[in-house]
Every structure is written in C-alpha cells, then in structure tokens.
Copies of this chain bind each other. A is one copy, B any other.
Amino acid sequence: MKIIRNLTTFITLSLSLAVLFSCNKESVKNFDTTVSSPDGKNRIEFSLNSDGEPTYQVFRGDVAVIESSKLGFEFGDSIDMSSNFELVAVEENSIDEIWTPVWGEYAEFTNKAEELILTLTQKGAIAKEMKLVFRAYDDGIAFRFEFPEQANLKEFEILDEVTEFRLVGDPTAWWQKAQFDSYELRYQETKLSEMPSANTPATFRTQDSLYLSIHEAALTDFAGMTLLNKDSSNVLVSQLVPISPDSPVKVKHAAPMKTPWRTVQIAETAGALIESQMIVNLNEPNKIEDTSWIHPAKYMGIWWEMHLNKGTWENKNAADLEHLSLQEQKDAFKAGKGIDKKHAANTENVKKYIDFASKHEMKGLLVEGWNYGWERGWKNFNFTTPYPDFDMQELTKYAQDHDMFLIGHHETGGDVGVYEDQLEDAFKYYNENGVPAVKTGYVRGEGPVDIHGKAYHHHGQRMVQHYRRVLEVAAKNKVMVVGHEIIKPTGVRRTYPNMLSRECVRGQEYNAWDAQGGNKPWHTTVIPFTRMLGGPIDFTPGIFNLTFDEYRPDNRVHTTLAKQLALYVVIYSPVQMAADLPEHYEGNPAFQFIENVPVNWDDTKVLDAEIGNYVVTARKNRNDWYLGAITDEEKRSLEISLDFLDEGATYEAVIYSDSEKTDLENNPTAYEIRNQKVSKSDILNIDMKESGGQAIHFKKLK
C-alpha cells in the first residue's frame, strides 16, 4: 500500500510541536497514522488489522523497506499484547535538537526526527493500554512500546516479543548468529534466507540497493533483542534473550515502562550507515553533571604479552600472601616471597611500559592481572587487593609523574555475584588510588553466575541491569568504563558518557591464539557496518609484529602493517589501544601515526565503502583530517576525492601505505610513508595490497 502524502499538510504538522488528536473514534482510518522523516524520504505507516493487531510498514520514497509487520508482546498469565487493540489517540511531535557530546565522532549531534505516538487500548474488562512511539529520521526509523501506569497492569513478565521485520525480497545479509552469551563470533555474508538468526546489529543490502541495519537503542532494563528467521523467509522476528537458560521469562517489570527502541537504519550507501547518528540520538541526555573527569585517551597495556604467552595474568606464587595486610605483603615480598617471573603485571614491568608510553603521547596504561583471583583458576576475584609484586601506590604516582594514568581491570570470570558484593568497595578503591578508568571483563563461556551459582545469560535482563549498575557505581566514583564480554552498545554512552567503549566483537586477541586461525582479512571490513553501528569498539589495533613467531608460530595477524594503522580511523573508539609490545614499536616510523591519531573527533565522513570489501573513512580533529582505508583479502586501487578538505587550504599529507614489497603472506610488515602537499581539488590514488590498508594524516598548513 502506498500513501500519497499531502506535503503541505505534513509541513504544517511538523512545525507544530505537538498536535494532539483527542478523540474516541474507533477506526484508524480517521487518524493520520503515517509519519515521514524531516527530509521526507523515510516514511512509516501504522495500521491495525482486522484482529486489532498493530502493524507497520516502512518506505523510502516509493520503495518499500519493511512490508507490513506485526508489533507486540506475549506477556505471562496469558496476557496478549499483540492484538485486540484499537487506536484511541495520535500525537505528532517534531524532534529538533542539537547536543554536544562529552566525546564522540562529531563535535555536535543533530537529533532531528518526526515522531508519532499512538495510544492503543484493548477491549474488555482486563483490557490493557499500550503506546507505540514511531520516529522517522532521515537516517532510519525507530519505534518503541510504552506500558503506561494503568489499573489493569502492575507487575508483569514478558515471555516473547512478536515484533517483526518483514524485509522485501531476499537481501544480502551480514550477520553473526544469535547467541545469548557472546558477540565474539565470526560474521557471515549470505542471502537473508540463509541466515537462521542474528545478533544485532544485523545489516542488509536490498534488491533496491538500499542499506539497512536492524538494531535497538537505549537498552537499559530489558532483555537484549536477537532476530530469528523462523521460516528461512524474509521475515525476522524479535527473539528476546531469556534472563537465564532455565527460564522462559525474558523481562520482569512493572508498569509504567518503556521498551528499548527497535531501530532500522536506512541508507543509500554503506558508508552512510556509519555516519548515522540515530542510535545514540535515541538515548536520554547525559545524566552526569560534572564530566570534567571523562576524557578520551590512547593507551597501552600489560595485555598483549599475556595473549602471546610471553607473560601470565596470574602470579602463581602469591596465593599464600593474600590475606596478609598490605604492609605484611610488602615485607614478605621483600623477603623473596610471591615472586613469579612470568607474572606480567609487576611493578618493574609496568614502569617500563609507562616509560615508553609516556614518551609517545599515550595517556592510559591498562594493567591486567594486578589482583588476586587469577591464581585460583580465574575466579572469585579480589578487587581491592593487588598482588604483592604490584605496588599500586607507587605505580599510580609513577603514572601521574609521567602525565599518565592507570586503567584498572575488573575481571569477574563471570562471577557477577562476587563482583556485585565488592562493587562499591572496588570502585572506591580505584577512586582513592587515583585510577580513573577500568576495563571490566566477564569471561565465562556458559554465562555469568550469581553467588549461589545460578546462571544468567550475558545478554538477558538481569545482566543488562548489572552492567548498568556497574556504570552507575563507576560514575559515582568518577571512573570511566571499558567493557569486555558485556552487553552490546545501544547508544547508552549519551546518557552515561563514562561508558567509553566496549569489546563485544572478535577483537585482536583472537589473532594471538584462536585455533581457527584468527580473524579473516574481511573481518574489519564488516564490523564497521554491523557491530560498530551500535557504538565504539575496543578492538585494540596496532599490532606491528604481525607474525610473532617467537611466541606463537602457529598464529598471526592476517593484515599488513598499514592496515593496522588504518584501523585507528576506520574503527571508532574514544579509547584506542596501541596493543603491541613496546619493543615492537621502538624505532618504527609507522608508530608516529599511532602517536598522532586522535581519539576524539569533530567530524566523520565515510568516503567510499562496500561492506565486506573495503572502507575508506575520514575523520576530523581540530584543523587536521585523518583517513583510514582498509581492504579485505583482495588488493584494491581506489580514487578518493579530497573534497572534504577545507576550501583554499593546503595540507601536508603524511601517507602510511602498503609498499611495492608488501605481501600479506611473506612480508606483511613492509610499508611506506609518503609526505606530500594536497588540497581540496586533489584526487588521491589509494593502493592497497591484499588485506592491506592506508592511513593518512592531513596536517593543515598555516
């Protein structure tokens, strides 16, 4: 069905802040239940079918994007929240807001949309009210459900969501299968009909060459949504993550409540998906009043050497000392106890990293393996007691003296109950010791457990609540958070900007030890269009010693060195690690790019991209632009116009590229750096070898 909108009417409505159609009419036909984006291109059409089932369709211009799809839930106690509705009210709002992030891909975010709020009520004595809120953005559409406070709905359980996304035809899909405990999975490219299920964001290219990505925004107290392709057709159904493996319940709540937003980003180019601001715009504004302690940072860490098995997380000789006082531990250590030469997070080694890192513009130093717990099989961690060979006071001072800070580490081993018991103390400990950031981790394949051993799903409501609580306690103690193995990003960083970044992806560490050979060359040409649409990725790029034969001869990183540099621009994160060992950077001119590349941006443009093939992204910081280009297993030559540069300005371009000698198999570390003057009117030829890349720093000349 196509509706020919009266544009004049639409504009008039848009200009009014809120036009309320108060009415008691029983038929949807009397309401205008369509809403279009500010640019008029994206359009949502709502309707109720004859069973009173809410449905929606989405169009871009004349092209159907989502065909008529159901909306609703099945609650416990046989409460049906997906049919028997009638429309009683329609409200239309114009959202038009410019907000300044504490950090981000842009200096400003523009939150501009048309909103339609539909009030639906059921018939009968135990009838429920449900609101549906639609937003049409220029870069996609979103909708959420609201369950207002009402006589017939107090506490409730959600057993299933029936919301559908009925795509048109059989689009190409980039996806990883739905998994309730991990996003660290390989991506695949298939026809939608060959995709059984998916974690979100899942991304599609339609027969009309539109790019779509389905995800959610503002997931704060709900189950994570996955997508199920029940009939191997073009209909994806929301499949919520159960709270725990043994429970049919997905969400427990009381009215009033608002669900997360279900989102469909829509773009005419793959790159425009990355440029989209919709997910983060759909979140509530910043709740942290004083944000002076929140700042992006580049960092190094006691980390890669454990992945390479050069060092260990655990101090295997420290166990007996844990319950001594700090002074007693120090004395015992001086007397020669608790020394484990392979334990990486020792005072001397940390200082070596600080010495190097502070010389190269790094601000943070991650320290994994600093506390008790590793030595007992990575469990039951003690978050306030350092190993005896790790002098927290001395090191935080040493870091401060070098204009750096430590990034702490809370590995939970999935013992969330143990962590929650210590949570306030753990963050207070960091606050008092001057550790302003922490990496949290939840390594445990089968899902986290509480103190009674009860297992939950990583992505279920119980854990979503947990991650949020960690964020709030961290904020109270002025600690920034980078999460590993936590819930996917849904733009919550707008509300809690101390939520800097997270992993939730097959990161660099898989290249160190993965039995399946690590990440394939195409991996990083897919994740910017899937995982990264949710938010920043702590991917930990920058490995220079790509084959590390002295440590793990059977593994390697499947990229060239230049591609590692390009990842700092292609993959967005306000914290970017220089992940390799200092000795692998020492004296290498290519490290200058890592030293220079900012972690905060005023502007972002994707210049050219095809998902799974290549990406060319440019980002601006103050006067300078940076460009990152990467390719999959194919070598490529691209012509890139520099028309994003300022009019009339000359830039000194420092170009880090694959060289003639670069060869993925035999010489991946070969590269070249060129320095040349360029301006807006220039076209740059970007040549990349197999799994190669190119990184460019455009320095504006005065």
Residues of A within 8 A of B (CB): 358-360, 550, 561, 587-593, 595-596, 652, 654-656, 659, 661, 667, 669-677, 697, 699, 702
Bound together, the chains give a CA A650 to CA B655 distance in angstroms of 26
The 7 A-B residue pairs whose C-beta atoms are closest, nearest first, are A673-B673, A589-B592, A672-B674, A661-B676, A359-B359, A589-B589, A670-B676
Cβ-defined contact, B589 with A590, below 8 A: yes
Cβ-defined contact, B672 with A673, below 8 A: yes
In the complex, which residue of chain B has the Cβ closest to the Cβ of A674?
A: B672
Cβ-defined contact, B671 with A659, below 8 A: no
What chain B residues lie within 8 Å of A590 (beta carbons)? 589, 673, 675
Quote the shortest CB–CB distance from A302 to chain B (angstroms): 21
19 other A-B residue contacts (CB within 8 Å) besides A561-B675, A659-B676: A358-B359, A359-B359, A359-B360, A587-B596, A588-B675, A589-B589, A589-B592, A589-B656, A589-B675, A591-B592, A652-B669, A659-B674, A659-B675, A669-B677, A670-B676, A671-B674, A671-B675, A672-B673, A672-B675
What chain B residues lie within 8 Å of A652 (beta carbons)? 669
What chain B residues lie within 8 Å of A588 (beta carbons)? 592, 654, 675
What chain B residues lie within 8 Å of A587 (beta carbons)? 592, 595-596, 697, 699
In the complex, which residue of chain B has the Cβ closest to the Cβ of A587?
A: B596
What chain B residues lie within 8 Å of A561 (beta carbons)? 675
Q: How many copies of this chain?
A: 2
In the complex, which residue of chain B has the Cβ closest to the Cβ of A593?
A: B589
What chain B residues lie within 8 Å of A671 (beta carbons)? 673-675
What chain B residues lie within 8 Å of A596 (beta carbons)? 587
Quote the shortest CB–CB distance from A542 to chain B (angstroms): 15
What chain B residues lie within 8 Å of A592 (beta carbons)? 587-589, 591-592
In the complex, which residue of chain B has the Cβ closest to the Cβ of A360?
A: B359
Cβ-defined contact, A670 with B659, below 8 A: no
What chain B residues lie within 8 Å of A667 (beta carbons)? 676-677
Q: Which of B669, B670, B677, B697 lies in contact with A670, CB distance below 8 A?
A: B677
What chain B residues lie within 8 Å of A672 (beta carbons)? 655, 672-675
Quote the shortest CB–CB distance from A264 to chain B (angstroms): 41
In the complex, which residue of chain B has the Cβ closest to the Cβ of A355?
A: B403
Quote the shortest CB–CB distance from A138 to chain B (angstroms): 36
Bound together, the chains give a CA A673 to CA B669 distance in angstroms of 13
In the complex, which residue of chain B has the Cβ closest to the Cβ of A403?
A: B355
Quote the shortest CB–CB distance from A565 to chain B (angstroms): 11
Bound together, the chains give a CA A358 to CA B591 distance in angstroms of 17
Cβ-defined contact, B673 with A661, below 8 A: no
- Residue from A561, A672, A674, A675 having most chain B Cβ neighbours under 10 A: A675
Q: When A359-B359, A593-B589 are in contact, do A669 and B661 touch as well, CB less than 8 Å?
A: no
Quote the shortest CB–CB distance from A582 to chain B (angstroms): 14
Bound together, the chains give a CA A593 to CA B669 distance in angstroms of 18
What chain B residues lie within 8 Å of A676 (beta carbons)? 659, 661, 667, 670
- A sample of 16 cross-chain residue pairs with beta-carbon separation below 8 angstroms, ordered by A number, consists of A359-B359, A587-B596, A589-B589, A589-B590, A589-B593, A589-B673, A590-B675, A591-B592, A592-B592, A659-B675, A661-B674, A661-B676, A661-B677, A667-B677, A672-B672, A672-B674
Quote the shortest CB–CB distance from A55 to chain B (angstroms): 56
What chain B residues lie within 8 Å of A674 (beta carbons)? 659, 661, 670-673
